[in-house]
Chain A
Amino acid sequence: MLRVLRVNVSTDVISFDPVPKAWERVAGRALIARVLLDEVPPECDPCGPHNKLIFAPGVLVGQMVSSCDRLSIGGKSPLTGGVKESNCGGSTGLHIVWLGLKAILVEGSPAAGAALRLLCIGPDSAHFEECSDVLGLGVHETTQRLRSRFGTKVSIAMIGPAGEMRLRGAGIMHLDKDGNPGRISARGAMGVLMAAKGLKAVIIDPGKTRRPALADAPRHNAARKLYVKALAEHPQTSKIYPEYGTASIVDMCNGFGAIPTRNFSNGRFEHAEKINGDAFHDLMVGRGGEGDPTHACMAGCTIQCSNIYADVNGKQIVSPVEYETIGLVGSNLGISEPDMIAHLNYQMNDLGLDTIETGAALGVAAEAGLMEWGDGLRAMQLMEEVRKGTALGRVIGNGAKLAGEVLGVQRVPVVKGQAISAYDPRAIKGTGVTYATSPQGADHTAGLTLRMPVDHLKPEGQVAASRTAQIRMAGFDSLGACIFGAFGFNLAPTTIQDLVNGQHGWDVGADYLTELGKATIDLEREFNRRAGFTPADDRLPEWMTLEALAPNNTVFDVPAAEMDAIYNW
């Protein structure tokens, strides 16, 4: 029987509670929205005592079904002021379920001036520990020290210096299956929320616990087999993702004229071929050593879209390098050297920063004249400013919106205060609808329409495309399934209900994913409405409707009235 771990950082009372009835059949992203509506006053200060930091593994988590052990972390976002679910791979979610926990809720506020602590969770126990030896340290050094203190079997969810400084670009970093802190709950300043709860890290020690028993093992096992077979048969999940990873999206987006270039001033990057999937792949293979284009972020993932990027001597720089980082930290800054992108990625990871938010903020800074386009060394210096906590560093570390306000830049790519990811919405308009309308703020993972059967440059059909994508994504985020697993589920759709029912003994039907997705979005919108959001918040920045994007010379022109009707199911 799963339980909810409540940790009150005002009183230090820790309790393992039964799961409330209304929460039993929701998990992951859906559960976060449910908890927020049930227990968090929508108008509260995101960094105050009434907000909650929520860890909620998805419905399928715990069984090591390929790519289905993802964790949702959420709360009221210090960046957007609205609902937030930030999704990550790695081992944290898996171990939370192995400990028999449906969710971890961190409540209250620590005493003023109290030092950050560790929350250590093991089988049937949880306690706080002091951690003065890691305060102020980067994520990599913190990882090393915590692993030598707690052992190499634990999962760690931690913040870096950026989170400690409460910079709103800060996420929560996690270990991958090899103990490398390269996975991040990146979006929406969850690192700030963790700092506001007085925590530097949460240590999850699974001890001798293992997968929970299945309600209907034959059904679950049969579905797992079918799903993994489908993944193995699909060319994208059997070949392209494993060998090339998301970096391959560079060519696609460049072809569509949608790759962010020099602070979203162009949709085509003239040096795209230097930073595309082929370039990264060939460097990883050619340099040998620790570099590897095929890597799994979590145990049991057969897709292995992740990678390890090494330098000329074969020594790891960072793992992984993903398309979003290449787009925001590469082309968006005019940077065309893979090594430089990898080094910047490492620095951002070490600071515990979201590369999307930070890349967008650097783009705004470059537009303000604080760096030349393509000057990676200057970008590195600006990361040093963040680390030192200088005023300039804090401006950039707080994300694109604040950087634009302080630096007087109008071309700021944000929605609901959150940076747009690496698909310019003027050339992939359905994704623009997602950015505009999603309760999460601008986020491609809320509903990417890149391969929807629509003309991306026309306004027609975009709302429908975005609606479909958003429902599916909200469903997958609640299942705890990596979206790349969708290729397998698409080929063998009955496996979703069979996995869910086989694991939990429920009786969900064929439309479970859709229903879960819709219900999740409904709950999220209701929280945002109560928090004061209106249709005016469901818009792209006005300049994107006025300033045509080369090379297609299109503006974002999906009618507002259509977007306002997107959730009329």
Chain B
Amino acid sequence: MQSTTGERISVTIKLHSVLRTLETTEPRSRVLLELAPGSTVATVVATLKIPEMDIVYVLNESVVESNALLHAGDTLALIPALEGGCCAQRVKTEVQPINTVLNIRRMS
């Protein structure tokens, strides 16, 4: 449940593959974060200064988007996305532009 008392909530963050060597933490695959109530997945991304890349967020057992609200005791896995490149890449970049011929949407 979301904390309503204003006390900070503690969330376990699981970091996968290249995120295990973040500049903001020692090399590790798990981090315990104390966050303000109302924090979301995006808060974690900002707090840990996760580099811009396509990431799959798995909150407890479900895939969520970056606006998902976090609760005390949650486990959030940050998984750098991989796939065969069938669809447009989701990372923002200067190199321009995505293949518009195929009408592929650019995602952030």
Contacts and interface: CB of A to CB of B under 8 A. Distances in A.
Given A255-B58, A255-B77, A485-B85, A244 B18 contact: yes
Contacts of B77: 251, 255
Interface string B64-108: 000000000000010111111111111101011111011111010
A450 B83 CA distance: 7
B82 A241 contact: yes
Contacts of A449: 86-87
Interface residues of A, number: 53
A252 interface: yes
Contact of B90 (A276, A451, A471): A451
Contacts of A160: none
B52 to A, nearest CB: 8
B18 A490 contact: no
B93 A491 contact: yes
Q: Give the interface centre of A252, A492, A511 by most chain B CB atoms within 10 Å.
A: A252
B45 interface: no
B61 to A, nearest CB: 6
A240 B79 contact: no
Given A233-B95, A448-B86, A243 B17 contact: yes
Contacts of B16: 248, 251, 276-278
B53 interface: yes
A268 B60 CA distance: 13
B85 A483 contact: yes
Contacts of A230: 95
Contacts of A485: 85
Nearest to B100: A493
Given A277-B17, A471-B102, A234 B81 contact: no
A473 interface: yes
B40 interface: no
Given A449-B87, A451-B87, A486-B84, A248 B101 contact: no
Contacts of A251: 16-17, 56, 58, 77, 79
A472 B102 contact: yes
Given A451-B87, A468-B87, A491-B95, A511 B101 contact: yes
A453 B88 CA distance: 9
A277 B20 CA distance: 12
A487 B85 contact: yes
A432 B73 CA distance: 35
A229 B103 CA distance: 24
Contacts of A278: 16-17, 20, 29
Contacts of A252: 56, 79, 81-83
B56 to A, nearest CB: 5
Nearest to A256: B63
A463 to B, nearest CB: 14
A35 interface: no
Contacts of A492: 95
Nearest to B103: A468
A452 B79 contact: no
Given A277-B16, A472-B102, A235 B51 contact: yes
B56 A255 contact: yes
Contacts of B91: 234-236
Contacts of A483: 84-86
B108 to A, nearest CB: 11
B104 A451 contact: no
A513 interface: yes
Contacts of A451: 54, 81, 83, 86-87, 90
A510 B47 CA distance: 41
Nearest to A551: B61
Contacts of B96: 491
Contacts of A445: 84
A281 interface: yes
A44 B90 CA distance: 45
Interface in A506-565: 510-511, 513-514, 551
A484 interface: yes
A493 B17 CA distance: 28
Contact of A493 (B53, B63, B99, B103): B99
Given A248-B80, A444-B84, 18 more contacts: A233-B93, A235-B51, A236-B82, A252-B83, A255-B79, A278-B20, A450-B81, A451-B90, A465-B87, A468-B103, A468-B104, A469-B87, A486-B86, A490-B98, A491-B89, A493-B99, A513-B101, A514-B102
Of all A-B residue pairs in the complex, the 7 with the closest CB atoms, nearest first, are: A486-B85, A255-B58, A469-B86, A483-B84, A450-B83, A491-B95, A235-B53
